[in-house]
Structure 1
Amino acid sequence: MRIVIAGAGIGGLTAALSLHAAGFEDVTVHEAAPEIRPLGVGINLLPHAVRELTELGLADRLAEIGVATAELAYFNRYGTPIWSEPRGLAAGYAWPQYSVHRGTLQMLLLEAVVERLGPDSVRSGSRITGPGDEDLLIGADGIHSAVRAHLYPDEGPPPWNGLVLWRGVTYGEPFLTGRSMIMAGDGTQKFVAYPIETGERTLINWIAERPLDGEAPDRGNWNRPADLTEIGRHFADWRFDWLDVPGIIAGAETAYEYPMVDRDPLPRWTFDGITLLGDAAHAMYPIGSNGASQAIIDARVLAYALAQGDLAAYEELRRPATTALQLSNREMGPEVVMKLAHERAPEGFDDIEQVIPHEERAEIAASYKRTAGFDPASLSERPSWSVDRSAAS
C-alpha cells in the first residue's frame, strides 16, 4: 500500500512513524517548505500523547528535550489563586506531561522518521495539493491545508474570534514549583507561562492574549513579528509576588503575533483514498494544550485502523471526539474558571471558595479531561493502539 503524507509537522511525522511501526513500508512525507527548520515556541504534550510517543519508542528522547510539568495553576489578573492541580506523574498518570519547544520536538520526530524509514522518506520543497497515484493521501498540512481545500474548496479562511495571541520565550527566574504551568487572567485578557528548559537557566515560554482592534492580519501565520513594547503596555501592572509579567515580556528577544483562529468542524474527513489529520482536520483554539497532542493521537489511531483494514474506523473514533473538543475550546474549556472568577468578583477576592466552590472548579477540570481523552483512569485502562507489524499489508 503506497501512502503519501502531506505535511512534515508533528502530526505528519508521527503518522509516518506510526504507519511504519504498523508494518506499512511505502510511506513518504512531503513538506511544502524548502527546508524543515525548528520553528515556533513552546507547546505541551499531555499524558495521552506522551503515551503514544512512548509506545513508538521515543520516551528517552522526549525526556531529554522536555520539561516534565509538575502542576497547572490558574490565577485572576491580580495573581490570586483560583485553581491548581498536579500534572503528569504527580497526578497519578502512568506517563508524564511535557512542555517542549515545538521545533525541537519536530526535529526529534524528523530524525526518527529518517532513521526508521530512510533518508528519502521525507521530501521538502514538495507541495501536495490533491491525490496522485498513491493508495492513500493523508492531509496533515495544517490549518491552511491544501488537501482540505481540495476536499472543501469553498470553505474560505479560518474564522477569527477577535482575540490576538503574542508568543515569545524569555530566560528568567524559576517560579512556583519551577515546573509549573500558569494561566492568569479575567476571561478576556490572559497571560500564560511555563518553562521549556531548566538547568543553569530557565527558558520561559509565554503567551499574552487580549482583544485586537480592527481586522486580524495573516490568519493562521505563527511567525508574524510583534512589537514587545506594545505587548508590555497592555500588561504593565501585572506584577505578582511570584511572577513579573511585564519583565518577562520585555526580556524576550522577539515575539510573534497570531490571531486566535480555528476551523469549523467538518461533517466528513475521508473521501476515496484521502483523509485528514491534525489541524487539517480539526484546527482548534490553543485552549487546554491539546493541538499537538490530538494530532499525535490521530496518527496512532489512523495507523491502527489501516492495519485492521478499516480506514472508516479512524474517522468514526476521532472525528466526534475532536469535534467535541473544538466546541469545548470555543467555550474556553478549563480556562473558563478565570472568566467565572472575574464575572463573580471583578475586583478580586480573598476566598475563592466563596466565588467558585471547589466542587464546581473540580468538575470543570475533570469534564475537560474526559472530553479531551486524558481522564487518568480511562487513559490507563484503554487498550494500546500499537499493532503487530504482520497485521498490515
Structure 2
Amino acid sequence: MGPQPLRIAVVGSGIGGLTAAIALQAKGFEVEVYDQASELSEIGAGVSVGGNGMIVLDSLGLGQAVRDVSSNLQRIEFHHWRSGDIFYEHPMGDWYDQRFGGPFLGAHRADLHQVLLAGFDGTPHLGRRAAAVHESPDGVEIEFADGTKAEADLVVGADGLRSAVRHHVTGPDEAVFSAMSCFRGLVPVDKVPGGDKFGLTFFLGPNRHLVVYPVRGGELINFVAYVPDPEWTLESWSSKSEPAEAVAAFEGWNDTVTTMLGNVEETGRWALYDREPLRRWSTERVTLLGDAAHPMLPHAGQGSNQAIEDAGALATYLAMESLTPAEALQRYEHLRKARTRKIQMGSRGNAACFQLPDGPATDERNARLVSLPDNVAWIHGYNVFADIQESL
C-alpha cells in the first residue's frame, strides 16, 4: 500500500473554495469543505468568467456545464452616461475565444455555484464558521464558532475578505474601505430597453458608472451600479436597498439606465472593501486562496477568475511528488503573489478612470480604449498551467 492521501480541509464553499476542492479531489486528495452559512441560498448577483478562469474549469471537466448555464458575451461596449451613445466597442464572442483560449461568460452566481456543487464529490459542512486555527508539526485543527472541531493535514482558507484563516497566517489586519458602494440586481431582459443586444456593457459618467451584462442564457440582465458613498459601510451579500435609491443616484442618466434600475424587483447594496497585498500567504500547513489571500475591488472583473486560477495552481503544486506539502504551498504562493497583487492595484485605479467628468480627461481615456484588447491580454490570455511549467 502507498502512503495515505493528504487530508485537506477547505474553509469556504464559494467559487474559489469549491473549485479548489474539486481540483484537489481530482489529484487524489481527501477533501472536506466547511462553510459558515447555514444554507447555500441563491444570491442574486452576476459573475463574469474569462478565458483565464475557463482554462481551469475546462481542465476539471466543468467547462461545458458552465457554458450551458451562462451567456457568451459577444461584444464589449462603452456608453456615454447621459446620451447613451456608444463611444467604443469591440467584438468578443469568437474573437475573444480564439485570442484568449476560452469564452468570456456572464453567469448568475447561483448557477455557477450549482455547477461547482455538482462537481464536488461530497457535501459541504454548513453552519461551521471558523473561529481559530491551531497548527502543529503533525497537523491542523480548526475550531468552529459552534464549538465543534475538525482535523486535517492541510487547511486552505477560502473564507473571504474577513478570513479567520488569514488571521492565523498573517495576524490581524484591517480591511480597506473604498468609500464606494454598489447597487446590484437582476432584471428580466424584456424590462431593459435594448437588453437583448447587450454584451459586456459599461455606462461611464461623473463619479458613477455601471457594468451590465446578460446571464442565464440572456434571460436576465445583471447590473452593478457604483456610487461614491463614505456613509454606507455595510459589506454583506444579503444587504438590500430600495430600487428607488438606485434610480435617484443615477438621476439625469439615459433612459436605459434609469428604466433598468427601476424595473428590478430586489436591489442588493454593499460597501466595497479590499486589503493591502499580503507579504505572506502560507505557513507549513495552512494557505490562503481567493479573497482570503488577495481581496480586490470588482473594477477589473477578476475576483472569481483569480480564485479559480489559485485553485488550479494549488492543486497542481500539491500533486507534485518532488515537493513536500510545505514546499508546494510556498511554490504556489510565489507563483500567485505578484500577479494577484498587480490586479489588486489595477482594480483600485480603474474606478477613478471609469468615473471621470466630461471634458479633456474623458476624451483622453476614450481615445486610449482603442488599445484595450492589448492592455488586458496579460490578464485574460493567462494560462496558469503553462506558467507553472515555465516555473519548474
TM, length-normalised to structure 2: 0.84
Equivalent of 1:20 in 17, 25, 29: 25
Contact 2:7–2:152 under 8 Å retained in 1 = yes
Contact 1:88–1:95 under 8 Å retained in 2 = no
Find the aligned partners of 1:311 and 1:147 in 2 and give their Cα distance.
15
Partner of 2:212, secondary structure, is strand
Task: Give yes or no for the alignment of 1:69 onto 2:86.
Answer: no
Partner of 1:322: 340
Which AA in structure 2 matches 1:209? Y
Partner of 1:221: 236
Task: Give yes or no for the alignment of 1:102 onto 2:119.
Answer: no
Equivalent of 1:46 in 19, 44, 50: 50
Contact 1:14–1:296 under 8 Å retained in 2 = yes
Partner of 1:34: 38
Structure with the higher strand share, 1 or 2: 2
Task: Give yes or no for the alignment of 1:8 onto 2:13.
Answer: yes
Shift of 1:236: 2.9
Shift of 1:187: 5.5
Partner of 1:178: 197
Equivalent of 1:237 in 237, 249, 252: 252
Q: Which moved more, 1:7-16 or 1:228-237?
A: 228-237
Shift of 1:368: 3.2
Which AA in structure 1 matches 2:213? Y
Matched ranges for 1:127-166 at <5 A: 127-128=129-130, 129-131=132-134, 132=141, 133-156=151-174, 158-166=175-183
Contact 2:36–2:128 under 8 Å retained in 1 = yes
> Where in structure 2 are there 5+ consecutive unaligned residues?
1-5, 135-140, 142-150
Shift of 1:246: 1.0
Aligned residues: 357
Matched ranges for 1:1-393 at <5 A: 1-24=6-29, 26-78=30-82, 79-91=84-96, 92=98, 93-113=100-120, 117-119=121-123, 122-128=124-130, 129-131=132-134, 132=141, 133-156=151-174, 158-173=175-190, 175=194, 178-186=197-205, 188-198=207-217, 202-212=219-229, 214-218=230-234, 220-239=235-254, 244-308=256-320, 309=323, 310-332=328-350, 336=353, 338-339=354-355, 342-344=358-360, 355-356=364-365, 358=367, 360-370=368-378, 373-375=379-381, 379=383, 383=386
Over 3 Å counting, the alpha-carbon distance change for 1:341 and 1:22 in structure 2 is farther
Q: % of aligned pairs identical?
A: 29
Find the aligned partners of 1:17 and 1:286 in 2 and give their Cα distance.
25
Shift of 1:47: 0.9
Over 3 Å counting, the alpha-carbon distance change for 1:384 and 1:162 in structure 2 is closer
Find the aligned partners of 1:341 and 1:73 in 2 and give their Cα distance.
19
Partner of 2:137: none
> Where in structure 1 are there 5+ consecutive unaligned residues?
347-351, 387-393
Shift of 1:58: 1.0
Find the aligned partners of 2:332 and 2:87 in 1 and give their Cα distance.
38
Over 3 Å counting, the alpha-carbon distance change for 1:385 and 1:60 in structure 2 is farther
Partner of 1:74, secondary structure, is strand
Shift of 1:61: 1.1
